[in-house]
Amino acid sequence: MTVGDTGLVLVLNSGSSSIKFQVIDPVAGTAVVSGLVEQIGEPEGTIPDHAAGLHMIHQQLLDSGIDLGAIRAVGHRVVHGGTKFHSPTLITDAVLAEIERLAELAPLHNPPNAIGIEVARADFPDLPHVAVFDTGFFHSLPQAAATYAIDRDVAADYGIRRYGFHGTSHEYVSRQVAVLLDADLAELNTIVLHLGNGASASAVHGGVAVETSMGLTPLEGLVMGTRCGDIDAGVLMHLRRTAGMEVEQLDELLNRRSGLKGMCGINDFRELLEHIAAGSAPAKLAYDVYVHRLRKYVGAYLAVLGRVDAIAFTAGVGENVAAVREDALAGLDGLGIVVDPDRNRTGKGARIISADDSRTTVLVVPTNEELAIARAAWEFV
């Protein structure tokens, strides 16, 4: 049997000015073609809208020589599923309308997701289209973890609760941990640290998410490339009163001019490490704040879970920056967490990096959200 004999899935991730795509063999777990169309709707670009962007993707797929007839489903990444969508959902007109309505909760993300779905349904009208939600895995959060301590009528009226994001990655990685350790998922307590441009932590008990660091929006929690993560909400009122900042300015400040970038002007971690090596004090402080926050979350989730079998690092920083893994878990021997420096600094791909006598197994587990989406969509074929 060769790749694609059983069928392929087209996975689309539509952002405001880009569409990422992969054609995946969900059974073999391999990507057959992948690519990215950028600068959609930007003045300097030549692609006026998402329909034109998808048209280019269609052409690239034809040029790639794969058998388009083998594509049996389209999987769409959708950021916000609100309280309604918990699991991968076959897209109908009503489902699409609901995804558009949820733009209220995710104004930057759901509108381009919905447009991507709309144009893809027009281009591939005979295929099932499946939405996979970033929030889905965190539907299971216990009420005590999901509820903000504010006036409950206000919370109810405006859908204010913790939804969590990066769920596809947290679910995929927590399951991979069980596979790698040859352990029963139902028995496993895992902390997943997804450290990319966006960053989030989760606590997973028996395959079910019980805590996560992102909240109503992907702004809460860890320090990120350009987002501040946790902050005293009083800062917003203070800046409103003293600096006269409007809501759009505050939004821009906390989402785009904060995090690593805000503290030292650099949001790319590779560059950050170069600046630290060259002696930059702001870059070093930004790194220290980043690592300190990560340690706090690990400690908090140890307490939430009571016993932790595994801690898994994933995404761009989690998979590639040994120093972050080492520094975030340094000195936790007393809690049963011992990273082996050699294992941590050498090797590639999925692997164990803790010492043999570490009670908690520490791992690097590459994430693969596209494959998880492809497999979810495949269930509908």
Asked if residue 238 belongs to a known ligand binding site, the reply is no
Q: What residues are paired with 190 via a beta bridge?
A: 204, 310
Asked if residue 13 belongs to a known ligand binding site, the reply is yes
Q: How far apart are CA 191 and CA 269, in angstroms?
A: 22
CB 22 within 8 A of CB 86: no
DSSP string, 271-325: HHHHHHHTT-HHHHHHHHHHHHHHHHHHHHHHHHHSS-SEEEEEHHHHHH-HHHH
Q: How far apart are CA 254 and CA 161, in angstroms?
A: 19
229 binds ligand ADP (CB under 6 A): no
Asked if residue 15 belongs to a known ligand binding site, the reply is no
CB 26 within 8 A of CB 375: yes
Q: Among residues 342, 328, 338, which one has the least CA distance to residue 359?
A: 338
Among 35, 41, 207, 316, contact with ligand ADP (rule: CB under 6 A): 316
For ligand ADP, the closer of residues 215 and 318 by Cβ is 318
H helix runs in the chain, sequence order? 50-63, 93-101, 110-123, 143-146, 152-158, 167-180, 234-242, 247-256, 259-264, 269-277, 281-305, 315-320, 322-329, 341-345, 369-378
Among 270, 307, 345, 359, contact with ligand ADP (rule: CB under 6 A): 270
Q: Among residues 183, 184, 185, which one has the least CA distance to residue 172?
A: 185
Catalytic residue check, 356: no
- Number of residues engaging ligand ADP in binding (CB under 6 A): 12
320 binds ligand ADP (CB under 6 A): yes
For ligand ADP, the closer of residues 276 and 304 by Cβ is 276
Q: What residues are paired with 233 via a beta bridge?
A: none
Among 75, 196, 218, 221, contact with ligand ADP (rule: CB under 6 A): 196
294 binds ligand ADP (CB under 6 A): no
Across the beta sheet with 199-205, what order do the strands follow? 208-212, 199-205, 189-195, 310-314, 361-364, 351-352
Residue 53, token pair as written in the block = 């962007």
Among 268, 309, 333, 340, contact with ligand ADP (rule: CB under 6 A): 268
Asked if residue 319 belongs to a known ligand binding site, the reply is yes
Number of residue whose CB is nearest ligand ADP: 316
Cα 138–chain centre separation:
12
Asked if residue 113 belongs to a known ligand binding site, the reply is no
Catalytic residue chosen out of the listed positions 126, 134, 184, 309: 134
315 binds ligand ADP (CB under 6 A): yes
Kindly indicate which of the ranges 8-16, 182-190, 296-304, 313-321 contains the residues binding ligand ADP, using the contact rule CB under 6 A: 313-321
Among 34, 147, 197, 255, contact with ligand ADP (rule: CB under 6 A): 197
75 binds ligand ADP (CB under 6 A): no
Kindly indicate which of the ranges 11-19, 27-35, 64-72, 262-270 contains the residues binding ligand ADP, using the contact rule CB under 6 A: 262-270
Kindly indicate which of the ranges 155-163, 263-271, 304-312, 332-340 contains the residues binding ligand ADP, using the contact rule CB under 6 A: 263-271
Among 115, 130, 132, 317, contact with ligand ADP (rule: CB under 6 A): 317
Work out how close the CB of 144 gets to ligand ADP at its nearest, in angstroms, rounded to a whole number.
Answer: 29
DSSP assigned state of 257: S
Active site residues: 134
**Binding residues for ligand ADP, per CB under 6 A?**
196-198, 225, 268-270, 315-317, 320-321
Give binding residues for substrate as ranges.
77
Give binding residues for Mg(2+) as ranges.
13, 369
Give binding residues as ranges.
13, 20, 77, 194-198, 268-270, 316-320, 369
